[in-house]
Amino acid sequence: MIKESKILDIASENGTPLIIIDHNQIKKNFEIFRKNLPRVKPYYAIKANPEPEIVKTLYKMGAGFDIASWEEFEIVYNAIEGMENEKDRFMNDKTIYANPVKRIDSLKKLADYSLRMTFDNYIEIEKIAQYCRNSRLVLRVDVPNLRSIVELSTKFGANQEICMDLINYAKKYGLYVEGLSFHVGSQCINIDNYAQAFKINRNIFKQAEEIGIKLKLLDIGGGFPAPYEEDVPSFESVAEVINENITHYFDDPDIEIIAEPGRFLVATAAVTVVEINGKALRDNKIFYYVNDGVYNTFSGTIFDHIQYHFKAFKTGELKESAIVGPTCDALDKISLNEHLPDLNIGDLIYSEKTGAYTNASATHFNGFPPAKIVHINI
């Protein structure tokens, strides 16, 4: 991680609240992904952190991109440098529109492209056929999300019993289903979800083969856990299970396998620095009021059930403390169980592993602006 002395220097120059994004760590995480999953092509999930500088770094590393809207398409398109005559081909070949239900205006804007697009229902097929016929379809399959921190299966994914009907329905409209996709849930800590998902998707591949349809793509989604806590399974252990299942179910080298890592690539690449604006003793616990909160950088406390932790630049006897945000909403509590030395108004503290789903979902609630972002080691 970034050294404390460097964090202080950057905060002194830029003020707080501040998010420092370390691109060396992003590159390291990307290389770890490729080393441990050599068969899988990573398509960075823009939603995790849509900063254009991150897109540029990962593009140079050879990543593809998972987009969920026309706006995210534009972020990728505008960030790509040095290949002006090849942008459209790159977007067709190295992006996937992985939102199973898309806005009509987005489909219209993408009508001249031949992007891969996920879907999971009959009406979506009709929409794509009407507004974006050049699309190459990828069927999103419902798979177990058991014990994933953010469960997605109740909103997306076709039940395996209707998958062949959907593939045939797309064919009726003159659309080609290129492959299947699944998502085991965000911050997946139950590795068995992957094993079950591979088995379900293999069965659908076989059913398609039996009626003469050759599927050629498997998108294994995201969910790769970031190490927020010590009990989170290591990426290496997750990759081991994935590799075993690829070998067992999808050993055909002609089947392209992609994934949508987001959180894993960027979570550990950022540090957030905040300033103490207030201090009070409540029920024998010290409350520190800081200038960032759950409506800004620390929204993951609510949306992702992530427990962020804080460190001080001072030393001393540690006392049980609470860190709460600046708004007038009682919901704005980041952590009620921190252990910090005695701190004063104006002191700075910092939280690591704040690169995913933080600035991406920040608001201006109560008029408080999102944290400033500084990129280093670009």
Known catalytic residues are 328
Comparing CA positions, the residue from 217, 295, 261 lying closest to residue 17 is 295
Strand partners, 181: 140, 219
- What are the Cα distances from residue 179, in Å, to 59, 251, 368? 24, 15, 44
Q: Are 252 and 47 in contact (CB under 8 A)?
A: no
What is the radius of gyration, based on Cα positions, of the chain? 22
Return the C-alpha torsion angle 273, 14, 50, 65, nearest 10.
-100
Return the C-alpha torsion angle 251, 254, 255, 257, nearest 10.
90
d(CA 375, CA 378): 7
Q: What is the largest CA-CA distance in the chain?
A: 71
Phi, psi of 47 (to 5 degrees): -60, -25
